[in-house]
């Protein structure tokens, strides 16, 4: 089982550890609800070093990324970040990812930990077709980079203490390469998977100890807490953010997943299998991913059936939990056409009961505190 540059700290703190994507990762420290609320109201610190990082460099970088991702890379300018996905050849998604642009010849792709090998092989296949030099113009740096996510309304205020660069005023989904905490260069980006605001910081493993201790010290006065993967999941689900392997996979189109906003059918964006997804966009789909709240008391889980009022199965839950902020069951599900409108009554099959719920727009939790400067 792999470890990250911060694993020993998690063990020293007594975290509940478990295997995730081949890594020994912290699931929780003081408890999922406690960590979740700390992130929403103060600051949460996440080790996300298990994520994958691919550099794309050189004169063909733009055209390569435009081919393999669904979003329109032409919309990016230097210092911008874009959420996107790799469409596969069969109408589904290889993975979802972030695309960082530093300049016209330097990009970084950040992919999910569980899909690093699959994503790398997919990118290599297309890079070879476009004559990119593997290891030079396409580089896998996943094992060399550590990453901390600092999330919550006080996150940027705390991190500003560690750099002379202006990070507290950075716009959402932007990035900078800066000197930080005495480290000559890190990638500092205002991204995250919680909806609570904050940043993600990338550094080389050799600088991991300096980075970790500095971030802990800077966040202490604002109530920073270490957060595990358990609360990371409940936080993202309150926002309605997709999780690969649950809400999206090799068989789901981004159109069906409500990700039409990252699937751009514009001139010059001839991504893999564009025609299939464009047809879905025009002709419509038979199912769509929707958020829901429980009306009856119950906790939905992945694969639970979804029914209409007459007991006909109309879908399946992809993700579900008890919301730590809302104190009710929430989730996401693919449901049949006719049940997509906000407020539509549906029923979730939990054990032997059909419990009432309603379709809601995302984010499911709408009470996130604003950032503090």
Domains and CATH numbers, the chain: 7-49+143-237 (3.30.1360.120), 52-140 (3.30.70.1400), 286-362 (2.40.30.110)
Strands (E), 240-304: 287-294
Cα distance between residue 170 and residue 297, in whole Å:
41
- Closest by CA to 228, choosing from 300, 318, 155, 149, is 149
d(CA 355, CA 312): 14
Mean pLDDT over each residue of the chain, to the nearest integer: 98
Residues of the chain with pLDDT under 70: none
pLDDT digits (tens, 9 = 90+) for 48-75: 999 999 999 999 999 999 999 999 999 9
What does DSSP say about strands 44-47 and 225-227: parallel, antiparallel, or unpaired? parallel
Threshold 0.85, pTM exceeds: yes
User: Any residues with CB less than 8 A from the CB of 327 and at least 6 apart, and which?
Assistant: none
- pLDDT at position 195: 98
Class of residue 363 by CB neighbours under 10 A (exposed 0-12, middle 13-18, buried 19+): middle
DSSP output for 138-190: EEE-TTTEEEEEEESTTHHHHHGGG-SS--TTPPTTBEEEEEETTEEEEEEES
Res 224: pLDDT: 98
**In the sheet that 225-227 helps form, which strands lie side by side, from edge to edge?**
175-180, 183-189, 198-204, 145-151, 44-47, 225-227
At 115, list the tokens. 């899909």
Return the exposure string of 47-70: e unless at least 16 CB atoms fall within 10 Å of the residue's CB, then b: bbbbbbbbbbbeebbbebbbbbbb
What is the C-alpha separation between 14 and 79, in angstroms, rounded? 38
């Amino acid at each position: 089982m792999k470890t990250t540059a911060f694993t020993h700290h998690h063990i020293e703190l007594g975290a509940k550890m478990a295997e995730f994507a081949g890594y020994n990762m912290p699931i929780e420290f003081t408890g999922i609800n406690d960590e979740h609320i700390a992130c929403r109201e103060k600051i949460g610190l996440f080790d996300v070093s298990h994520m994958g990082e691919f550099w794309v460099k050189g004169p063909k970088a733009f055209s390569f990324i435009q081919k393999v991702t669904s979003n329109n890379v032409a919309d990016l300018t230097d210092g911008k970040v874009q959420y996107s996905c790799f469409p596969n050849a069969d109408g589904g998604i290889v993975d979802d990812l972030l695309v960082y642009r530093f300049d016209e010849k330097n990009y970084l792709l950040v992919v999910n930990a569980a899909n690093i090998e699959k994503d790398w092989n997919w990118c290599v296949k297309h890079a070879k077709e476009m004559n990119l030099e593997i290891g030079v113009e396409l580089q896998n740096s996943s094992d060399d980079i550590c990453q901390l996510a600092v999330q919550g309304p006080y996150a940027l205020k705390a991190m500003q203490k560690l750099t002379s660069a202006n990070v507290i005023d950075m716009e959402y989904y932007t990035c900078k390469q800066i000197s930080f905490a005495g480290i000559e260069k890190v990638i500092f980006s205002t991204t995250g998977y919680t909806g609570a605001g904050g940043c993600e910081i990338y550094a080389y493993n050799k600088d991991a100890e300096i980075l970790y201790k500095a971030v802990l010290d800077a966040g202490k006065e604002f109530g920073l807490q270490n957060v595990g993967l358990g609360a990371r999941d409940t936080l993202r689900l309150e926002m309605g953010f997709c999780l690969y392997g649950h809400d999206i996979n090799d068989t789901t189109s981004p159109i069906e997943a409500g990700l039409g906003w990252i699937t751009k059918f514009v001139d010059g964006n001839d991504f893999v299998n564009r025609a299939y997804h464009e047809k879905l966009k025009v002709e419509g789909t038979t199912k769509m991913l929707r958020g829901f709240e429980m009306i009856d008391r119950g906790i939905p889980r992945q694969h639970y059936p979804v029914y209409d009022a007459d007991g006909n199965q109309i879908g399946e839950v992809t993700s579900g939990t008890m919301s730590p902020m809302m104190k009710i069951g929430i989730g996401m599900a693919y449901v049949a056409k006719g049940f997509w409108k906000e407020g539509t009554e549906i029923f979730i099959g939990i054990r032997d009961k059909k419990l009432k719920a309603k379709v809601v727009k995302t984010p499911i939790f709408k009470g996130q505190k604003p950032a503090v400067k």
